[in-house]
A and B are shown apart, each in its own frame.
Chain A
Amino acid sequence: MNRKFIHIILIFCAIWVLLPFFWMLMTALKTNNDALKFPPSLIPEKFMFNNFIEAFKAVNFSRYFLNTLIMTTGTTLLVYLTTVLAAYAFARLRFRGRELIFAIFIAMMMVPMPVYLAPSYVILSRLGWIDTFFALIIPWSVNIFAIFLLRQHFKTLPQELFDAAKIDGLNDLQIIKNIVIPLSIPVLVTIGIFEIISSWNSFLWPLIATHSDSMRTIQTGLSYFAQAESTNYPLLCAASTFTTLPLVILYFFVQKQIMESYARSGLKE
């Protein structure tokens, strides 16, 4: 095929992909009257940067951001803790039932969330966790796929390292801290990015696990905002913009790692 022709097709697709982003941003900057004009004007008559502030204050978005930050940080840190320990045990320690437990973990990973949604809610309410950070964080503090990924990696580390460490009198925790973790940074970064994105964007779980306004995450907050302000498109688009922005910024900094982490999460399953 002709080079130019290829580029035309590729650019066409790029425009199609970017159009919703462009339109979100343009609408976010319009006055409500301007946004409702038809046919619409591509560029706002007047740039209403104030819309962002207005949308941010219209509902308690600062609280939603804080909640999401707490949820994302908590989940990611706990996933690191549980994952490193479990992956180390599955890869380097001997104990009865090791392979069986691992296989059961993997099988559980295959069960889609809707299947255990209602019973999880019942359990959360029995524990009195509904509307708390426990409900947002603890059930997602293990990522089986991350354990799988890290276990594979730990298995590739040379046995001599561990023998030498044992001779030097290091215990397992010291080995993890001083040897294993420094040698696993790329995999750990992958896991962290994956956790941040999925936690930041999670919706169905926060929707059922929290009720009160002060416990909303930005995703559930945005969804409520969209229902309440269903016709104020500039404010809706402004809110959508700042909901999306943090991950888009992260994406531009670490896009290689993001693509790799998703690629890995796929091909090795």
Chain B
Amino acid sequence: MKKKVEFAGYLFILPAFLVMALFRGFPILQAIRMSLYDWSIAGPLKFIGLKNFYRLFIDPKFYQSLGNTFWYVLGVVPLTIAISVFFAYLLNQKVKGQGIYRTIYYLPVVTSIVAASVVWKWLFNPDRGIFNAALDLLGIHGVKWLNDSRGINEIIFSRFGLDLSGFFAGPAIALIALMIMAVWHNLGYCIVITLAGLQNVPAQYHDAARLDGAKGWGLFHYVTLPLISPTIFYLLITQSIIAFNTFTPVYVMTQPPGGPLGTTSLVVHYLYEQSFRLWNLGYANALAFVLFVIILLITQFQKRFFEQRVYYE
């Protein structure tokens, strides 16, 4: 009898197991192996040990894409979360039409990122786009958006006679355009999650705090925020991973791929270029492996530094 039960268990997980083994487990192990080879579209050419990692270590384009990704994640994630907390908080004030607002805010989340990229590229068009038409009305002319490779720090500090370049030039205007779209695309999800977090906070906490005279910012800062900190922490982790893996907008929106002077090249896009345009599969896997380690490290870092500030009931 027991044997029979065991057999059924294995049989039932078999389909899932086969797919997972072939399309997750094996590729993940294979990725490690491939990173040690000079591997092209023809297959493994030569075992070269850690040379791919060494090449990566001195590859300026890799560092550029890593720097871009750093600015991108650092810009998109805190901004999206801050805005979503603000709007979730407003929506939670029992406003009329809460459902309608929520429906609207969430709409971009189900929109395909390819279609969104096509449309946003049009919005950002420097000569014909609606953003520049609006900015014209405000007296701001000729923003080049996706074609502008100048870093934001570079622009700001050049006024003070400081000449910043490379990583310290900051995210290029082109990259900032991508960041604006990313905030638009993810905001609704973050609002809905945060709103759910707020609605899970029992009313008596706020009632008690109000009785003690807390209101406005104090109430928000000392009562509401700690109570939804697990939600915010969760958003921080997942949104960082999502932002880190951004590929499609770079691919669809920026020409040449990776943007002017490579200023919108994010690591996953660089990985794609190395893999499927240049067919340096071994090198690309070294890159993928390093990327994975970086994501793990960042997640661990966030856990270390932020989780202790998360308040669990």
Contact = CB atoms under 8 A, between A and B. Distances in A.
Interface stretch (B9-17, B70-78, B301-309): B9-17
Interface stretch (A34-42, A43-51, A183-191): A34-42
A251 B120 CA distance: 21
A215 interface: no
B213 to A, nearest CB: 18
Main secondary structure of the interface of B (DSSP, over half): helix
B237 to A, nearest CB: 9
A266 B193 contact: yes
A240 B253 CA distance: 14
Interface residues of B, number: 89
Contact of B13 (A101, A117, A233): A101
A147 to B, nearest CB: 7
Interface string B76-101: 00000000000100110101100001
A177 interface: no
A118 B281 contact: yes
Interface size class of A (residues with CB under 8 A): 35 or more
B93 A255 contact: no
Given A108-B28, A114-B245, A201-B112, A172 B193 contact: no
A252 B2 CA distance: 49
Given A10-B87, A101-B17, A263-B196, A116 B28 contact: yes
B248 A121 contact: no
Contacts of B103: 252, 255
19 contacts: A10-B91, A13-B87, A13-B101, A18-B107, A23-B130, A40-B130, A85-B13, A114-B245, A116-B31, A117-B271, A117-B288, A123-B22, A204-B272, A223-B114, A226-B118, A237-B122, A243-B112, A243-B115, A251-B107
Give the top 3 A-B pairs by smallest Cβ distance, nearest first: A95-B9, A116-B27, A89-B12
Interface of B: 2, 5-10, 12-13, 15-17, 19-20, 22-28, 30-31, 34, 43, 87, 90-91, 93, 95-96, 101-116, 118-123, 127-128, 130, 133, 136, 184, 187-189, 192-193, 196, 231, 234, 238, 241, 244-245, 247-248, 251-252, 255, 268, 271-272, 275-276, 281, 284-285, 288-289, 291-292, 295
Given A117-B271, A203-B114, 5 more contacts: A40-B130, A89-B12, A112-B244, A237-B118, A247-B110
